[in-house]
Structure 1
């Protein structure tokens, strides 16, 4: 279904190239939830791409994509967006809240990665883009007491993402995500720690550009789960598409015809303003 506002389409999973790892702690329960409910609520986000025999690049919804694979499904509902549109796609990053000892993490960084640790200050906690080549900051660490550490690395973008994967491997058994405002200060940091009382420190990641994300895929490297954040204006939510549509005995054409018929009976609203939605 394509309108002036959005494009929804069922595509073959084999035609989608992921840009990030999945989170098994989220994917397995999600697969069970979809199986029991009989439907998927929200489409994954993709953009058209022509690389490595793939047609689409996954931008968001890696755990939904993985859940569909776990269920043995070969197709999935997507919202196709124009990745080059500044109006449609905004890039940001997630913050990871970690319930492990910061001293152990710093020691892990010193011994297991080729990164440099520097002492920072609260003003260093901000949304920033990562430097594509040469020395640049990989992430910023902040503990509950306001101590700040800056983690730097040399190399090309693919090498830097490999090191970010190594950093995240220290706590990847449980990744808790949150968001900092674009211009953050000590108050914002304290508020997040109040929301995550068990967390001992946070990892603040930089924002990657569109070209950097595509370039990393060409290195055949995946981002860790929950690093990149794609904010889509006019994102389609709460579709509740029955998984019976994705049956193997139906062609893609037939599946999309059924989707079109289903959606044509559904009314939708467009929210132009930022919305606070209580789940």
Structure 2
């Protein structure tokens, strides 16, 4: 179903290529919650890749949970990936708890990485070069010890090194780093997440770089690429029985159109703050 505001479509899972790895514990927990709630609240976000194939931009754990539950399709909101007004790119930071010397020692053993002492003004999101040496991460500890991590090679090499860094820790908390972050901002983030004592900051990747990695068969780590979608569809609340039905995708899309046509919706043009 396509309108002037949004496009929703039931898409076979085998037509959706992931751009990031999934968090197995979160996806499994989500699959259990979906079974209890019996509804899928929000569509995942995809963009057209080529032909009738799509790339997943957001909702990797929902996509993985659907595979775990044995479904063969999922509802998606299709966005124009080249629309810079309605699709913004950013990156998440990771906060977690680990023994600081052990973590830094583990990172230092990863082949192809150069680790150096960093400065506070390097704690920021930045774009990364596709070719040649460049900074792939900044590590900040609770006591403000800062380390920069540099890797060379082609883009996929750097993404693989970032995966190795993320594999060195678990129980990730995601957050957003303020622009032009200062020491007070870092302190605030650690105060917000009191169980965490280490922060990792990653580059922001361009649309071209993300598609290039996907087409090369690579995957980003879970929870690094961040897509801010304007006019994101929420609270669609489709019953899981809809996806369990053995009807064709065409029939499901016809049914989806009837469901959405009957639903009232509001469009929030301005950023909105919800109090929970």
Short-chain TM bin = over 0.9
Contact 1:89 1:230 in 2 (8 A): yes
- Partner residue in 2 for 1:121: 119
CA RMSD across the alignment: 1.2
State which of 143, 149, 153 in structure 1 corresponds to 2:151.
153
- TM-score, normalization by structure 2: 0.97
Stretch of structure 1 that moved more, 98-107 or 4-13: 98-107
- Partner residue in 1 for 2:196: 199
- Note the residue ranges of structure 2 that are not aligned, 5 or more in a row: none
Alpha-carbon distance, 1:37 to partner: 1.1
- Note the residue ranges of structure 1 that are not aligned, 5 or more in a row: none
What does residue range 1-150 of structure 1 map to in structure 2 within 5 Å? 1-50=1-50, 55-150=53-148
- TM-score, normalization by structure 1: 0.96
The CA deviation string for residues 158-213 of structure 1, in whole angstroms up to 9 with x for no partner, is 00011111111111x32211111222111111111011111111001110000101
The CA deviation string for residues 6-55 of structure 1, in whole angstroms up to 9 with x for no partner, is 1011110010000110001210111111111111011000000128xx61
Runs (4+) off by over 4 Å = none
1:276 matched to 2:253? The reply is no
CA distance in 2, matches of 1:38, 1:135: 48
**Count of residues in correspondence between the two structures:** 276
- Partner residue in 1 for 2:216: 219
CA distance in 1, matches of 2:28, 2:180: 35
Contact 1:73 1:248 in 2 (8 A): no
Contact 1:99 1:201 in 2 (8 A): yes
Task: Look up the SS of the partner of 1:151 in the other structure.
Answer: strand
CA distance in 2, matches of 1:140, 1:150: 5
- Partner residue in 2 for 1:235: 232
